[in-house]
Chain A
C-alpha cells in the first residue's frame, strides 16, 4: 500500500503544481468576463454555471477606454521591439568579438571581460536609476520613447552577449577563414556567414530579451510619466483610479501577458534548451 502511494506520489505532485501554475491564468480569464456584482459576491468559478458572463470589460477596453490603452500599447510595442533589435545587434557583434579575438588588459582577459559584462545584469536598478534620471533630465530624454529604447537596449545587452557567446563558439572558424580568403571583409563574413549559422541563438536572444523588456516595470516607473508610458505602468496605475475594477484589470492583464505566452508556446523546446544552456554555463 505504501509502495503504491510512493509510486503515484510524483503524479499527484505534478498535477497539483500544474493546477497552481494554471489556476491564476484561468482566474484572470474568468474574471475578465464577469460583471462587478459577480466579482464582489464571493468567488464564482464557472461562466454559465455559477455566473452569467459579460463582455463588459472587453467592451470597456476596446471601445470606451481605447485611447487610454492604445497609447501605452503602442509605446510598449515600439520601445520593446526597437530596443530588442538593437540589443541583439550590438550584443551579437560584441559577443562575436569576445568569442573570436583575444583581449588583454593588464591581468584581465576575455573571460574576465565576459564576466564583467554579465555581472552588469546583477546591479540593482535602484543603484543606477538616480544618475540616469538626472542624465535624462539634462538630455531631455525623460518620458520619451527614445530614452526608454536606450535604457532597454542597455538592460538586455549583457544577457544577449552572454547567451550568444556559446553559439558563436560553436561556429567553425574554417568557414569564416575560407570566406575571408575569398575576399569577404570581417563584417561581411559576420553578416553573411556567422549570423545565419548562429540563427537559433539569435531567435532565443531576441525573444527572451523581448519578453524581459516587455515585462520591465521599475525603469519605466521612474523614467516615464505619461507620453512614453508602457503597458506595465498602465496596469500598475489601475488601483488608484476609480477604485479597483478587477474585471477591467483582468482584461488588461490578459493583453499584457499574451505576447509572452504566445512566445513561450511557439518556441517551446528551443526556449527550454536555449535557456538551460545559458543558465548552466
Chain B
C-alpha cells in the first residue's frame, strides 16, 4: 500500500513536470546561453559562437531597444493603472445580487474572451480618421477629431485603450469577487455609525480589497509587459517605431532578421524585469498580510 502510494503520487505529477521542463525550464536556460552567443539561422552552417556580454552591451546602447523598453513601461504603468481604476469603479457598481447586475457581469466579461487579433482589426477600423465611427461620433458631440493611429503620440494611447477595453473585465471580476466576500456586518456597523457611502468605501471596502488589488495589478502588469498581438495588427509598431513594445522588437530582430543571440539577450532582459517586478510585488503583498 505504502509503495503504491509513492508511485501514484509521482506518476500523477510526472507528465505535467515533463511538459513544463521541456517548454519552460529547458528553453529558459537555452535562451540564457543563446543570449551570450551569436547565432543566426540564415548562415549556411549554423554555428554557435560565444561572444560574452557583447549582446548585452550592444543592447543598452541600442536606441531602438531603449525606446521599446520605455514604451513597454508606459503600457504597463498607464495601462494597468487605467484598467485598475475602471475595473474597481465597475465592480463597485455591480456587486449587489440583482438580476440586472448579473446580466451586466456576463456582458462586461465578453471582451476578455475575444481573440485579440480579431478585435484589434475592429478597433483599427473604428479608429480610422476618415471613415471610422469614433471620430464621427466625436464630431457629432462637437469635439475635434483625434489622429488615433497616425500620430506618434496618440497611437500609443490607442493601443493602451484597446488593451484596457479587453482586460478591464478581468480586473473587475477579481475585485467583484473580493467585494462579494466581505461580510455584511462591517457595513451594518458602518450604517449604524452613520458613515456615508464614500466613507464606507474609503475605510472599509478599499482597505480590505488591497491584497486582491495588488494581485490583480501584478497579473495585469506582467501580462501587459508581454503585449504584442494588438500592436502587430493595429499599428505594426508604427507610425515609425512609436508603438513598438519589447516583444515586438524582439520579434523583429530575432525572427525577421534572424539575430537569435541578440533577440535572446533582449528577451532575457524582459524576463528579468518581469521577475524582479513580480518578486517586489509579492514582497509588498507579503508584508501587508
A residues sitting closer than 8 Å to B (CB atoms) are 10, 13-14, 17-18, 20-25, 27-28, 31, 39-43, 45, 90-91, 93-94, 96-98, 100-101, 103, 117, 119-120, 122-135, 150-151, 153-155, 157-158, 161, 185-187, 190, 211, 214-215, 217-218, 221-222, 231-232, 235-236, 238-239, 246, 249-250, 252-253, 256-257, 260-261, 263-265, 268-269, 271-272, 275-277, 279-280
Q: A154 CA to B270 CA in the complex, in Å?
A: 21
- Not counting A27-B122, A97-B8, A261-B113, a sample of 14 additional A-B residue pairs whose C-beta atoms are within 8 angstroms of each other reads A23-B126, A24-B123, A42-B131, A103-B9, A126-B228, A126-B250, A126-B267, A127-B267, A128-B23, A131-B34, A154-B23, A218-B247, A235-B121, A280-B177
B113:A264 contact, CB within 8 angstroms: yes
Which chain B residue shows the least CB distance to A116?
Answer: B20
* Interface status of B237 (Cβ within 8 A of chain A): no
B232 adjacent to chain A (CB < 8 Å): yes
Among B75-83, B99-107, B149-157, B185-193, the stretch that binds chain A is B99-107
A-B contact pairs, 19 of them (CB 8 A): A13-B90, A14-B93, A17-B90, A42-B136, A43-B131, A93-B12, A97-B9, A127-B27, A127-B271, A161-B16, A221-B251, A236-B117, A238-B121, A249-B121, A253-B119, A253-B121, A253-B122, A279-B173, A279-B174
Question: By the criterion CB–CB under 8 Å, are B254 and A130 in contact?
Answer: yes
A-B contact count (CB 8 A): 259
Do B20 and A117 have beta carbons less than 8 Å apart? yes
Q: Are A260 and B113 in contact (CB under 8 A)?
A: yes
Inter-chain CA distance A18–B212, complex, in Å, is: 25
Asked, given contacts A236-B232, A246-B125, A279-B170, whether A90 binds B31 with beta carbons under 8 Å apart, the answer is no
Tell me if A214 and B93 are in contact (CB < 8 A). Answer: no
* B116 is an interface residue with CB less than 8 A from chain A: yes
Q: Would you call A43 and B115 a contact (CB within 8 A)?
A: no
Q: Which residues of A contact B9 (CB under 8 A)?
A: 97, 100-101, 103
The residues of A that contact B102 with a CB separation of less than 8 Å are 269
Are the C-beta atoms of A127 and B270 separated by less than 8 Å? Answer: yes
Contact of A257 with B114 in the complex, beta carbons under 8 Å: yes
Q: Kindly report which residue of chain B lies nearest to residue A215, judged by CB atoms.
A: B115
Chain A residues whose C-beta falls within 8 Å of the C-beta of B113 in the assembled complex: 211, 260-261, 263-264
Taking CB atoms, residues of chain A closer than 8 Å to B278 are 119, 122
